[in-house]
């Protein structure tokens, strides 16, 4: 139900005008009229509402096309801030963005997600507060969180996440919403990375992509026609738990953390690399990995990546096998989904050329020629901030959607609006 002060036809115009200015597609009133298809009077009325609400402001005079020079219009990205966090199996990154998704500040630290929701979210809140101290005048308009497991997007609750003990059904949205008095959205971390890459990263303006995160586990984010595809319940792209069955030797005996056997993640993820590398190190089949195990006490997927980069034969073999298994799985998705680009990210996925080459080889060998004719298979952005940016884009897109804009625009900000209260309850 929309705000009674804004009629549906008015709301349609507001969303159209705001989107055109936010995206930079229209910078003047004449451009708005041309691109929106709305009459000049309607554009003027809707623009007046947005100017009064503080979402748009007038700037310098633009170039003249023969008459009086028009005033340029700008989206007020600094009207509020968005708190964002990307939680992984072994670390977390939190940040602060403006309403255009521009990252203003961020913090990163090692953290074990298995520590549990209370301790983890307490740490997230402490880092958020630290970022806000540096900007005491900032008004928090929304919060976006990415979690390394299945999330029911409608409720913002993780559902039976394999690597997150104690998180099942935890009210992440309610806790953070009550803390910051702002609407909160929670999603799978790979979806956030995919959205960030499409909107401001390597895949910018690419309409159909598969983003594959290979870290401790394996997951994928799907973007179709420029829109993130979450599926009916929010768990689309969970390729890590596709069963390889009898296609791989020993797959049927390899138990995954989800409880099933033969999952791609259990055979090719960072956890699988660490497991197999540890066995090899203890059997003294790799001097480099044995030395690292003795030094650190445990091995990780990135340890295998580093050993492979220095030419350790066993590490090279493990990494190439992982890439081949991921590529074989992705080949089926390429034939089914026909993406224009596949992006590899995560602590293992964004590593050197060995894994990338193995993935490419398997995809090109197993996919249809037409599906791979123009397919790009590349690593994700080197900055490692696509997840934070994606979380910000998720929040602002929801805030300025037709469904929600009408709930709060008459009040000036989403803070304390009926929709905000609904989204934190």
Q: What is the DSSP track for 16-53?
A: HHHHHHHHTS--SHHHHHHHH---HHHHHHHHHHHHHH
What does pLDDT average to over the chain? 90
pLDDT above 90 (res 109): yes
For residue 155, give every residue at least 6 positions away whose Cβ sits within 8 Å of its Cβ, in sequence order, or none: 173
pLDDT of residue 1: 38
Answer yes or no: are the C-beta atoms of 172 and 158 closer than 8 Å: yes
pLDDT above 50 (res 127): yes
pLDDT classification of 410: cutoffs 50, 70, 90: low
pLDDT tens across 28-83, in order? 988 999 999 888 899 999 998 899 888 999 977 656 555 566 789 999 999 999 99
Q: Which two tokens stand for residue 285?
A: 């089949």
Residue 256's region, left for phi above 0, alpha for psi from -120 to 50, else beta, is beta
Residue (of 159, 162, 167) closest to 259 by Cα position: 162
pTM to 2 decimal places: 0.91
pLDDT classification of 381: cutoffs 50, 70, 90: confident
Q: Which two tokens stand for residue 409?
A: 């625009």
Mean predicted confidence (pLDDT) in 21-34: 91
């Amino acid at each position: 139900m929309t705000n009674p002060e804004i009629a549906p036809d008015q709301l349609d115009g507001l969303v159209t005008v705001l989107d055109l200015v936010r995206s930079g597609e229209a910078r003047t009133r004449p451009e708005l009229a041309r691109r929106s298809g709305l009459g000049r009077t309607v554009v003027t009325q809707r623009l007046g509402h947005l100017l009064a609400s503080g979402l748009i402001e007038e700037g310098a005079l633009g170039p003249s096309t023969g008459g009086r020079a028009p005033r340029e219009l700008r989206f007020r990205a600094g009207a509020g801030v968005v708190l964002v966090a990307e939680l992984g199996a072994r670390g977390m990154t939190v940040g602060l963005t403006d309403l255009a998704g521009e990252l203003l500040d961020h913090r990163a630290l090692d953290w074990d997600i298995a520590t549990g929701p209370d301790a983890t979210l307490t740490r997230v809140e402490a880092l958020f507060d630290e970022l806000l101290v540096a900007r005491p005048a900032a008004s928090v308009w929304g919060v976006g969180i990415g979690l390394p497991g299945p999330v029911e997007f409608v409720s913002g609750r993780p559902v039976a996440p394999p690597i997150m003990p104690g998180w099942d059904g935890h009210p992440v949205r309610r806790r953070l919403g009550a803390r910051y008095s702002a609407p909160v959205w929670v999603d799978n971390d790979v979806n956030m990375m995919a959205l960030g890459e499409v909107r401001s990263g390597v895949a910018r303006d690419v309409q159909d992509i598969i983003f594959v995160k290979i870290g401790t586990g394996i997951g994928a984010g799907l973007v179709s026609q420029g829109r993130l595809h979450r599926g009916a319940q929010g768990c689309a792209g969970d390729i890590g738990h596709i069963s390889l069955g009898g296609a791989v030797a020993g797959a049927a005996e390899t138990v995954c953390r989800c409880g099933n056997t033969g999952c791609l993640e259990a055979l090719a993820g960072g956890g699988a690399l660490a497991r197999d590398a540890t066995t090899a190190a203890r059997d003294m089949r790799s001097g480099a990995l044995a030395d690292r195990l003795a030094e650190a006490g445990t091995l990780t997927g990135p340890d295998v990546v580093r050993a492979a980069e220095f030419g350790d034969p066993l590490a090279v073999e493990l990494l190439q096998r992982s890439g081949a298994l991921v590529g074989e799985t992705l080949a089926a998705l390429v034939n089914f989904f026909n993406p224009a680009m596949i992006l590899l990210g995560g602590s293992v996925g964004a590593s050197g050329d060995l894994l990338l080459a193995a993935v490419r080889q398997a995809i090109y060998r197993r996919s249809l020629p037409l599906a791979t004719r123009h397919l790009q298979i590349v690593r994700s952005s080197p900055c490692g901030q696509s997840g934070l940016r994606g979380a910000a884009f998720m929040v602002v897109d929801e805030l300025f959607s037709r469904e929600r804009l009408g709930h709060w625009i008459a009040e000036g900000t989403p803070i304390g609006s009926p929709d905000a209260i609904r989204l934190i309850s």
